[in-house]
C-alpha cells in the first residue's frame, strides 16, 4: 500500500495525474431539467435600467427629480414651473425665457455620466412644448461633444399655447461617450418644455421606447430560461412610498411617475443622489423583453414590507389588501383577455395576446415572522383566483443561519411552490457547496437560486476567472439536483463602469461599449447547453463534487439525442479522465465538441477594451462507449457528444 501511495505521489510530483474513471448511466435519466432552469435577474442597480438597458439618453427628462435641475445645466433665464402641466403624474416642467438681452437661454443635459453618441447613427429627439403667449418660437436642438463644441444643430418651431409634441431626427457627426444634448431658445420670448428625450433610433428591435441594442442582445445571447424582475431590494423600496409599484410603470411613458431608486443613498462610499427611476423600462417592457428573449417572466412584488435593512416599514395585515390586489391585477394584466380591465391596458400598449405568466414572487429578501404572515395572505388570494400560478417565497438574505432555518419550514407550511435562496459568498464556498442540494428534501417546495455570485474579496470582488470557475463548479450541483433546483439566476446583471455600487456583476458597460465577464460566459455555457434530463454521473460510486478538484455533471438532450457533459477542473494541473457510458446498448459515440473556458491566471479579467476570456470550441475525438478527456488546469468544459445506432 505504501509503495502504491509513493508511486502516485511520484506521478503527481512529475505532473502526471492518475486517471480518474467516471461513469455515466445513459439509460436511467435521474430527473427532468426545467427548460427555464438557467436565467437572468434584472434590477435597476448600478445604472442597470436608467443609464443602462433602457436606451433613454437624457437624465431627468421630466424635471421631476426633487432637485429639478439634476442632470441639467441651465443657462440664461430658465425656471421650473408646475402650473398647467403637460403630464399630471410628472407635473414639473421647464420655462425658458429669451428676453432679448441675454445672448442665449436654454439648457444642456449631461446624460448618465455623459451621453454616448456614435458617428453616423440616428437619434430621435422628442419633447413637449408650448409658447404661453402663443407666439411662434424657434428652438435649436444641438449635439455637443465632450469639449463643448456644438457639432450638430437642428431648428424646430413651437407654435401655440397648448402642449404639443416635437420630434427631430439627429444624425450624430461624431463619436463621444460624454456628449451632451443642448436645447436653446433661439428667438425672443418664452417656451415651456417637458419630457425632453433622446433615444437611439436603433434600439433593440427598433422600438421607440426601446432598450439599448447591445445590452439586450447580450441577454438574448445567454439563452435565458427565466427572467426575474424588477428586483431585488428595489421592489421593497427604501420606504413603502418608494417601493416599486408596477401600475406606475405602465401606460404612456411620459406619465409614469418618477420614483426614487432604492440604491440612491445606500453606499456611503459613493454618493449617487441622482438615481431615480423614470420607469420608462416598466412592466410592459419587461414582459415584452421576456418574450423577445424566450424567457419565462418572473415578476417580484412588494409583500408589504419596505427594505428591512433600511426603514423596515410594515403594512399591517388589515391594510394589506391593496398590495394583494396589485398582485391579482398584475396576473390579470399579463394573462387575462383584452376585455378585462388590466388586459385592456396591456392591449392598449400594443400586446393584445396574453404574456402567459406562470409564476409570481412575493417579497424579496424578507425575514422574521412578519414575512410569512403576509405571504400567507397573498398565497390564499392568488390560489383562490389563479390556482395555476406558481408562487415564489423567500428564504431571506442568506443561504444559512437563523432566518434561513426559520423561513424554509414556514415556506413549506404555506405551500410556496418555490423558495428563493440568495448567496453572495467567497469562491471557496462555491467550490465547497457543489453538493449543497444533494440531500435537500424532495417533497417540499422547489429551489430558486434567485441571486448568487462568487465574491473574491482578496481582489476587491473582481469579476475574475476564479469567481467564474467557482460558479461553474457550483452549478454542476444545481444541474445534478435539477429535480429540486428548478431555477437559477446570477446577480446582479448589469453595471455602468462610472456608476457602480455593487460588484461583481455579469455585464459591465460604458456609454458606448459593453464587456461580458467570465461569469457571463459560464452562465451562457450552461444556458446554451442545459439538456433535458439529468444523467447519473459518478466517480468511485459518488457524484463528482470536488474530489481531486474535479466537478462534473451529465445530461441528455432528448431533442437532439446528444449527451452533454460539464466538467470543471479546478486544479492547477491537467487532469486525466476516462468516462464510461453505460446503457448505450448498441449505440456508440460518433463525434463531439468541447466548448471551454480556461485561464492559467485565476485573477484574469475581461475589460471593455478586450474580452480575453471567452469560450473556445475544439473537436473531441470519440469512438465506442468511453471517452478520454484531459481537462486543462483551471478549466470549465462543456462537451456535446453525438451518438448513433439503436
Ligand atoms: O443584487 C443586489 C441586491 O442583493 C439585491 O437587490 C438584493 O436582493 C440583494 O441583497
Q: What is the pLDDT of residue 6?
A: 53
Closest atom of ligand 1 to 491 CA is: 1
Average pLDDT of every residue of the chain: 95
pLDDT at 623: 86
Check: CB of residue 128 under 8 Å from CB of residue 86.
yes
How crowded is residue 503: how many other Cβ atoms within 10 Å of its Cβ? 16
Beta strands in 132-173 (DSSP E): 137-144, 150-158, 164-171
The pLDDT tens digits for 243-279 are: 999 999 999 999 999 999 999 987 666 666 789 999 9
Q: Is the pLDDT of residue 630 over 60?
A: yes
Residue 217 is classified by DSSP as H
The separation between CA 478 and the C-alpha centre of its own chain, rounded to angstroms, equals: 19
Going by pLDDT thresholds of 50, 70 and 90, the confidence category of residue 332 is very high
Whole-angstrom Cα distance, residue 97 to residue 86? 18
Residue of the CA atom closest to atom 1 of ligand 1 = 492
> Which atom of ligand 1 is nearest the CA belonging to 234?
6
> Could you tell me which of 594, 643, 640, 639 has the C-alpha nearest to residue 623?
643
Which element (helix H / strand E) includes 526?
helix 518-527
pLDDT in tens, 407-420: 999 999 999 999 99
Residue 2 pLDDT > 60, yes or no? Answer: no
Q: What is the pLDDT of residue 8?
A: 47
Q: What per-residue confidence (pLDDT) applies to 131?
A: 97
CA-to-CA distance for 589 and 626, rounded, in angstroms? 8
CA distance 51 to 212: 10
Q: For residue 14, is pLDDT > 70?
A: no
Q: What angle do CA 446, 35, 233 make, to 5 degrees?
A: 55
Q: Region 86-106: what's the mean pLDDT?
A: 92
Q: Is the peptide bond before 585 cis (omega within 30 degrees of 0)?
A: no
pLDDT at 137: 96
The answer to whether the beta carbons of residues 190 and 97 sit under 8 Å apart is yes
Task: Let me know how long the chain is.
Answer: 646
In this prediction, residue 101 has a pLDDT band, given cuts at 50, 70 and 90, of confident
- Give me the helices (H) in 54-134, please: none
Tell me what pLDDT residue 1 has. 43
Angle (CA) 409-412-417 rounded to 5° is 140
232 Cα–ligand 1 center, Å: 5
Give the mutation target among 46, 309, 310, 491 for probing the ligand 1 site: most ligand atoms within 8 A of CB. 491
SS3 576: coil
Q: Which of 254, 365, 421, 471 is catalytic?
A: 365
Residue 234 near residue 300 (C-beta atoms within 8 A): no
> What pLDDT digit, counting tens, does each position of 357-407 carry?
999 999 999 999 999 999 999 999 999 999 999 999 999 999 999 999 999
Give CA torsion, residues 37, 287, 90, 209, to 10 deg: 110
* 189-204 average pLDDT score: 98
Count CA atoms closer than 13 A to 275's CA, side-chain side.
26
Of 646 and 595, the structure prediction assigns the larger pLDDT to: 595
Q: Rounded to 5 degrees, what are φ and ψ at 552? A: -155, 155
How confident is the model over 585-612, as pLDDT tens digits?
999 999 999 999 999 999 999 999 999 9
Whole-angstrom distance, CA of residue 303 vs CA of residue 286: 20
To 10 degrees, the CA torsion angle through 537, 541, 545, 548? Answer: -110
Ligand 1: which atom is nearest the Cα of residue 233? 6
Mean pLDDT, range 85-100, rounded to an integer: 96
Q: What is the mean pLDDT of residues 485-512?
A: 97
Which residue minimizes the CA distance to atom 7 of ligand 1? 232
pLDDT average, residue stretch 319-328: 98
Q: How far is the CA of 347 from the centre of ligand 1 (A)?
A: 32
Known catalytic membership, residue 365: yes
Tell me the mean pLDDT in the region 187-208: 97
DSSP line for 2-54: HHHHHHHHHHHHTTPPPPEEEEEETTS--EEPPTT-EEEE--S-TTSTBTTTB
pLDDT tens column, 554-576: 999 999 999 999 999 999 999 99
Cα(288) to ligand 1 centroid in Å equals 23
Report the pLDDT averaged over residues 423-433.
98
* Lowest pLDDT segment from 94-108, 109-123, 202-216, 462-476: 94-108
Tell the residue nearest (CA) to atom 6 of ligand 1.
232
Closest atom of ligand 1 to CA, residue 364 = 8
Q: What are the counts of helices (DSSP H) followed by strands (DSSP E) for the chain?
A: 10, 35
Q: Identify the pLDDT of residue 17.
A: 60
Higher-confidence residue: 240 or 271? 240
Q: What is the mean pLDDT of residues 290-319?
A: 97
> Which residue reads 439634476 in cell numbers?
70
Name the residue at shortest CA distance from atom 4 of ligand 1: 232
Q: To test the ligand 1 pocket, which listed residue (232, 449, 503) has its Cβ within 8 A of the most ligand atoms?
A: 232
* 190: pLDDT strictly greater than 50: yes
Give the nearest ligand 1 atom to 263 CA: 6
Residue nearest atom 2 of ligand 1, based on CA coordinates: 492
Mean pLDDT of 519-537: 98
Q: For ligand 1, which residues put their CB under 6 angstroms from it?
A: 43, 45, 231-233, 364-365, 397, 422, 451, 491-492, 502
Query: How far away, in angstroms, is 397 Cα from ligand 1 center?
Result: 8
Atom 5 of ligand 1, residue of closest alpha carbon: 232
The reported pLDDT for the residue numbered 69 is 97
Give the pLDDT score at 581: 97
Q: Does the pLDDT of residue 12 top 70, yes or no?
A: no
Residue 88 has pLDDT above 90, yes or no: yes
What are phi and psi for residue 332, nearest 5 degrees? Answer: -65, -45
Q: Which atom of ligand 1 is nearest to 262's Cα?
A: 6
Q: What is the DSSP track for 432-445?
A: HTTTTTTTS-SSSP
Q: How far is the CA of 300 from the centre of ligand 1 (A)?
A: 13
Angle made by CA atoms 176, 178, 183, in degrees to the nearest 5: 100
pLDDT at residue 4, as a whole number:
44
Atom 9 of ligand 1: nearest residue by CA position = 232
CA 502 to centroid of ligand 1, rounded, Å: 9
Rg (the chain; Cα; Å): 27
pLDDT at residue 102 greater than cutoff 80: no
111: left (phi over 0), alpha (psi -120 to 50) or beta: left
Q: Which residues pair with 555 in a beta bridge?
A: 534, 564
Distance of CA 254 from the midpoint of ligand 1 (Å): 28
Amino acid at each position: 500500500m505504501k509503495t502504491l501511495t509513493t508511486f502516485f505521489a511520484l506521478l503527481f510530483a512529475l505532473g502526471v495525474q492518475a486517471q480518474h474513471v467516471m461513469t455515466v448511466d445513459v439509460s436511467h435519466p435521474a430527473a427532468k431539467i426545467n427548460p427555464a432552469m438557467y436565467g437572468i435577474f434584472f434590477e435597476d442597480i448600478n445604472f442597470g435600467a436608467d443609464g443602462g438597458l433602457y436606451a433613454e439618453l437624457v437624465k431627468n427628462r421630466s424635471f421631476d427629480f426633487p432637485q429639478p435641475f439634476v442632470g441639467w445645466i441651465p443657462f440664461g433665464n430658465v425656471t421650473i414651473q408646475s402650473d398647467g402641466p403637460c403630464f399630471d403624474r410628472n407635473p414639473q416642467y421647464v420655462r425658458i425665457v429669451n428676453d432679448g438681452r441675454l445672448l442665449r437661454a436654454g439648457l444642456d443635459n449631461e446624460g448618465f455620466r455623459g451621453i454616448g453618441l456614435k458617428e453616423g447613427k440616428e437619434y430621435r429627439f422628442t419633447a413637449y412644448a408650448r409658447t404661453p403667449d402663443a407666439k411662434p418660437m424657434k428652438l435649436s436642438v444641438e449635439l455637443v461633444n465632450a469639449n463643448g463644441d456644438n457639432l450638430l444643430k437642428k431648428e424646430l418651431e413651437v407654435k401655440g399655447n397648448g402642449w404639443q409634441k416635437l420630434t427631430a431626427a439627429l444624425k450624430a457627426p461624431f463619436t463621444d461617450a460624454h456628449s451632451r444634448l443642448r436645447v436653446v431658445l433661439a428667438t425672443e420670448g418664452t417656451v415651456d418644455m417637458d419630457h425632453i428625450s433622446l433615444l437611439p433610433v436603433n434600439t433593440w428591435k427598433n422600438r421607440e421606447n426601446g432598450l439599448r441594442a447591445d445590452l439586450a442582445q447580450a441577454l438574448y445571447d445567454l439563452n435565458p430560461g427565466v427572467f426575474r424582475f424588477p428586483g431585488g431590494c428595489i421592489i421593497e423600496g427604501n420606504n413603502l412610498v418608494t417601493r416599486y409599484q408596477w401600475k406606475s410603470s405602465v401606460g404612456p411613458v411620459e406619465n409614469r411617475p418618477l420614483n426614487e431608486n432604492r440604491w440612491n443613498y445606500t453606499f456611503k462610499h459613493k454618493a449617487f443622489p441622482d438615481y431615480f427611476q423614470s420607469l420608462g423600462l416598466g412592466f410592459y417592457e419587461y414582459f415584452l423583453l421576456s418574450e423577445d428573449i424566450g424567457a419565462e417572466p418572473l415578476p417580484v412584488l412588494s409583500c408589504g414590507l419596505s427594505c428591512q435593512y433600511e426603514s423596515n416599514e410594515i403594512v399591517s395585515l388589515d391594510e394589506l389588501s391593496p398590495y394583494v390586489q396589485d398582485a391579482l391585477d398584475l396576473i390579470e394584466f399579463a394573462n387575462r383577455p383584452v376585455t378585462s380591465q388590466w388586459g385592456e391596458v396591456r392591449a392598449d400598449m400594443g400586446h393584445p395576446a396574453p404574456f402567459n405568466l406562470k409564476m409570481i414572487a412575493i417579497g424579496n429578501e424578507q425575514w422574521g415572522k412578519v414575512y410569512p404572515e403576509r405571504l400567507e395572505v397573498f398565497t390564499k388570494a392568488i390560489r383562490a383566483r389563479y390556482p395555476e400560478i406558481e408562487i415564489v417565497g423567500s428564504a431571506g438574505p442568506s443561504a444559512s443561519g437563523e432566518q434561513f432555518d426559520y423561513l424554509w419550514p414556514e415556506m413549506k407550511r404555506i405551500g410556496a411552490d418555490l423558495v428563493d435562496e440568495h448567496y453572495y459568498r467567497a469562491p471557496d464556498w462555491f467550490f465547497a457547496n457543489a453538493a449543497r442540494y444533494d440531500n435537500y428534501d424532495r417533497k417540499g417546495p422547489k429551489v430558486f437560486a434567485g441571486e448568487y455570485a462568487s465574491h473574491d474579496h482578496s481582489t476587491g470582488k473582481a469579476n475574475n476567472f476564479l469567481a467564474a470557475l467557482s460558479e461553474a463548479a457550483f452549478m454542476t450541483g444545481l444541474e445534478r439536483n435539477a429535480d429540486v433546483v428548478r431555477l437559477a439566476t446570477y446577480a446582479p446583471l448589469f453595471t455602468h463602469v462610472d456608476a457602480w455600487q455593487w460588484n461583481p456583476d455579469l455585464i459591465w458597460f460604458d456609454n458606448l461599449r459593453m464587456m461580458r465577464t467570465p461569469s457571463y460566459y459560464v452562465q451562457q455555457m450552461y444556458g446554451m447547453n442545459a439538456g433535458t434530463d439529468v444523467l447519473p454521473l459518478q466517480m468511485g460510486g459518488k457524484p463528482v463534487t470536488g474530489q481531486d478538484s474535479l466537478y462534473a455533471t451529465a445530461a441528455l438532450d432528448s431533442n437532439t439525442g446528444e449527451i452533454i457533459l460539464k466538467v470543471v477542473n479546478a486544479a492547477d494541473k491537467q487532469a486525466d479522465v476516462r468516462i464510461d457510458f453505460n446503457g448505450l446498448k448498441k449505440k456508440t459515440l460518433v463525434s463531439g465538441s468541447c466548448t471551454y473556458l480556461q485561464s492559467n491566471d485565476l485573477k484574469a479579467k475581461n475589460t471593455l477594451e478586450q474580452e480575453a476570456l471567452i469560450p473556445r470550441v475544439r473537436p473531441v475525438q470519440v469512438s465506442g462507449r468511453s471517452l478520454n478527456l484531459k481537462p486543462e488546469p483551471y478549466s470549465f468544459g462543456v462537451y456535446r457528444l453525438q451518438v448513433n445506432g439503436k
